[in-house]
Amino acid sequence: MIFSSYAFLFVFLPITFCGFALLTYFKNEYVLVAWLVGASLLFYGYWNPPYLLLLLLSTGCNYAFGKAIHRATQKRKMWMVIAVGLNLALLGYFKYANFFVANLNAVLHADVHLQHIFLPLGISFFTFQQIAYIVDVYQRKAEQTSLMHYCLFVSFFPQLIAGPIVHHKEMLPQFTRQNICSIQSKNIAIGLTILLMGFCKKTVIADSLAPFANSVFLAAKSGTALTFYQAWGGALTYTMQLYFDFSGYIDMAIGMALLFGIHLPLNFNSPYKALNIPDFWRRWHMTLSRFIRDYLYIPLGGNRGNLLKRSSTLIITMTLSGLWHGAGWTFIFWGLLHGFYMVVHHCWHALRREVVEYHSGIHMAVSVFSRWFLTFLAITIGWVFFRSENFASAWSLLSTMFSTETLSPLPYIHEFGLWWAKDIAGIRVPEWIYGMFWLGMSSAIAFTAPNTQQIMQNVLGPFYEKEHLKTWSLFSVKWRPTLWFALLGAVITVMSIVFLTLYQEREFLYFQF
């Protein structure tokens, strides 16, 4: 069951919310928490019932380890290491066992067979979330809670499958009587608005871009010759598809949580407006970046040591981040590439500081546009490896993107002229024209429009840090509970349902990670 599906939007979510609203009459915190836990487990089990046992086992074991670490006076570190190790072993088996065996066979020319392991949905997210909890309990940053509250912390269905990766301190206090035992009309209006915005991003924009991106990457994989414009079109449409797919999911998750009075942390902040790669990672999948920083980068040394030590730490951290996204060499290389980007960025700034310090008369300012353009170009090149199934297809696509052999636009101008000259309404529109339309519209929104939290800042401003609301945009829109915004929401809903019917409930891209 995915968020952008009829079963979820018109059956599961209404029943879950109506049941929750009725139970608020009893003002019993544990009844409401139990209802949400039951609904979340049903949501997860609907996809693959046997893997529901895996989620329950992981949750129960981590709760027991957390309790043991909290109570222990000796050997606390031993319990923490065992718990983290078991979590990583679980993730490693389900996500990387097939990858490891395949590479072992290739290196040793062996013929080891391992039954194909189906990746459980959300295992990367709920595993990382529980590792953070275990480490925080060990560091005495987390208080012990009831099993029912902990189950909801892990399994809360809006963020169970693809994040945000939440901290206990962000969620557990919200499961108290004061926060969860009432339904507020304001939260319903705000939540539904954000939910519909995400629904539109996913079904109208991301799913409309998908066919064009898929056709280009499939052609590159099969060895089909592509032109300069097809290659760039495929890379850019995937870049925008991933943006609106993930942004749409996050909006739907935050909106749904608000229906129940729960505020999820911000996880997406116009990343394609970033002026450098570190800024991109502060904006893209923000809770994952926070986890990697706090539980991997800083323990490995962080900013301590000389430039070489810091650079090595960055490379290792980002390479592991790539591996987290997928069990494949292209994902690993994508992470390594972003690590290299960051090292170049930090080296440049270190060099610039020295030049400014010793040659204060030299001005080395770089225009904002140049920094944005180079950053976006680097990100797009990275996404080519992220999307490609192997290096051969990635290099094939990239070589065409930076080749001048098919640079002439005359064939496309000729095709457009024929279509225009005959009968625009009477013949089939060339597919590339559709692709250009969706790419142009999605790019304009990503680069110039205010993001969700900026649109909703009049009502959500107190819950987010101020710098997250100051992202540049060409114009400003501020949501208010008025009739005009209600009518706009109705139009968006109808449009999204139409596109949902056209594209047959496509899964969110981040579900595979």
Q: Which residues contact 344 (CB under 8 A, 6 or more apart)?
A: none
8 A C-beta contact, residue 124 and residue 95: yes
The alpha-helical segments, DSSP class H, found in 260-276 are none
DSSP bridge pairs for 268:
284
Residues pairing with 284 in the sheet: 268
Whether 468 is catalytic is no
Separation between Cα atoms, residue 104 and residue 350, nearest integer Å: 41
How far does Cα 43 stand from its chain's mean position? Answer: 20
CA distances from 407 to 221, 237, 400 (A): 21, 19, 10
Q: How many CA atoms lie within 13 A of 450 on its CB side?
A: 14
Q: Three-state secondary structure along 182-231?
A: CCCHHHHHHHHHHHHHHHHHHHHHHHHHHHHHHHHHHHHHHCCCCCHHHH
- Residue whose structure tokens are 């409401």: 32
**Which of the following is catalytic: 325, 338, 346, 468?**
325
Termini Cα distance of the chain: 16
Q: Which residues contact 324 (CB under 8 A, 6 or more apart)?
A: 124, 128, 288, 513
The number of helix segments (H) and strand segments (E) in the chain equals 24, 0
The residues that are catalytic are 325
